[in-house]
Structure 1
Amino acid sequence: MTAQDVTTALPPPGDFSTVEALVRTLSGQASIGIFLSDPEGRTLYLNERLRRIAGLPVVPTPGECWRNALAPEDHDPICSEWSGATNAERSFSREFRFRRPDGSLRWVMAEAFPLRSGGGPSGGYVGIVRDITPRQLALDALHASEERYRTLAQQSPHAILVHADSAILFINEAGARLFGLATAHPIEGRPLWDFFPKEFLHDLPLAEAAPSPSVERQLVRPDGTVIDVELTAAPVMFDGHPAVQILGTDITERKVIAGQLHRAKKMATVATLAGGIAHEFNNCLTAIMGFSDLALPSLVPDSRVHGHIQQVVLASKRARDLVTQMLMVGRQADGAKQPLSLDILLKETLRVLKMKLPESISLREWIPGATNPVLADPSQIHELCLNL
């Protein structure tokens, strides 16, 4: 390896004419814009790249040439800041826009530094200008996308919450309602744990490429009400930074309905079991009623045993009606309606009721006479009378 001392080849300190020549030579092929100005900020030189960025003519007017290309909205504030920097002999750094002759806008990042000899006054400025239009367009597209996201999220009926580093970045109105948060006070920017217990949002599964599995959690709102919430989390970019989006759905009513459905299924099972028992019991009643009917003709009509057997027959008929009701519960039979005389049915009901009551209670009947027939299920009317 060989080395050569090139110190003598560099321009001596304070030789700004040589510096200008060096800058002109190096900047001719540079991929960024470069300019030189005098101590008052008037342009002495700009390279071809800056001329193309700003859309200046081939032979630009010296002095304020690059400032003449500023977008009208940026002209006054940028010129004011540039004058302030040159007057104070300090560096200048700013983003702004050039409006080119064809009407297009180019975003640039400009930086300028004073040229000094030792600790003396500024002998002018050297500046660089980078075209940041692609980056700015990407940022504008990102901001527009985020604005659309905010608009859609605010209109969503589902709760949407975005957070990063344990701080709330965004929550829509549906989320504030679901979680019981008062919107009268600022929510965004505050810590998550001001509103939620740590175990509520802790360790939610995140899926990079596909929706993450949902998790059911129970939340106690600030007003004390308890709700069941289904949460789904996913990574998102928000304001240009990674964040976590949480989608929340109130499933309290759904769980109540699911519980009711579960109980209904259990009742259906019980009804099926009751139907099976009713069929077996009906077989027993058939034997009781059959043998009672066979025994009655062989007994003295007014004897005590004859009356007992008649009560067995009546009780068996009532039991048969109860079996019919059990089959109706099990959806295995429909109640049959038939013409009934309520006075006769009421007398039979009172006779059964007297047998069930203790001796200390007496019943007195007062039935005016025959009533008009009605169309009804005898077992249901009998049960109704007993309940009364």
Structure 2
Amino acid sequence: MSARFTIARLGSQGDGIAEADGGEVFVPFTLPGETVTAAREKHSATLMSVLEASPLRIDPACRHFTECGGCALQHFEAEAYRQWKREKVVQALKAKGIACDIAALVPCAPETRRRVVFSARRTEAGMLLGFVRALSSEIIPIEECPISLPAIVAALGRLRALADLVCATSKAFHMTVTVTASGLDVAVQDGGKLGDHQRRIASNFVTAEGLARLSVDGEIVVEPKKPVVQFGSVAVAVPPGAFMQATEAAERTMAELVGQHLSRAKKVADLFAGCGSFALRLAAKSEVHAVEGDAPALAALDRAFRFASGLKRVTSERRDLFRRPLTFKELNAFDGLVFDPPRAGAEDQSKQIARSDVPMVAAVSCNPVTLARDLRILIDGGYALKSVTPIDQFLWSAHVEAVALLEKPKRRR
């Protein structure tokens, strides 16, 4: 049964929030000030119609918007959207009592996302390839995706055919597609165990269609061309399923901010280093010690350094920084540090950094809440927060990156 709601504000995930009997009601795809009808179920509701639209409402860029479960905010005017996203960082820091000038959001252009995770499932009608509808297990097949690089969109038919060839399960599975300098790198997860005949057919298809690699659950099935990405001047052959920033432009912006801040450092620690997107760039000017828990990523970083020219020394260490963070005594060997943890942040590692004498620190985060917590620890440990730059690389979603730069005066001995 539908009811009328007036949207008061946007929630942290981009849903409109209305005040109603029984508390707040979250209505996706609405904007503050709008009057809408929606079908309510407890504290969530499905939008039925917009009776009075906000002047900030615009036409969405994609025919699949509101269905596919990917974008949340295509209906939001661009400048207002960017201000809302920056405000997420402002409010997260404010909640921890952190006052700092926060830069304008670095925007994200359409058609720039280089890594996309599709869902797939074989049905009686054929292979579905697309995204999962929000709060559902239903896969919405897609024909376009205005956030993704055109190379991914142009390959949708081939990817659907490949999903059909590698499917060995009746359940839904995932297909991660990454644009590399060598072509598309396709990593399948939970698709079932391939038989020998299936492997041969899939391998022939990948080779014939010019794809760079196919892997299944981390195992390479075929690799006609080793997938390579550029981190600054360094070419890195990335392992299957390797983490990379979603857009090359955002990665470059982050690296420039970090590199400028640490430009005077002779020895730098890169914590949660991944395949080396920061470490290999920083090595142009500084010696770098890269620490990462994922062995294939660390091996790719080390191999890229050994085949590169013109870099300072890069050492690497495999270490689970959640279980065993670098101690403040270990950190005191460095005069610069960057850390880029997963969404959970780096609380224990931040406590060690706070006790250290490292004069220049760059904190990179995809979660403003855990970033604010970690910055509070560093500030309480004597660091001064110099700047915070929000960066958008997940266009039309509620996710926002940020780079925070900190300094600590040298202690008198």
Which structure shows the bigger proportion of residues in strand conformation? 2
Which structure shows the bigger proportion of residues in helix conformation? 1
Higher relative contact order (CA 8 A, sep 6+): 2
Q: Whose radius of gyration is greater, 1 or 2? A: 1
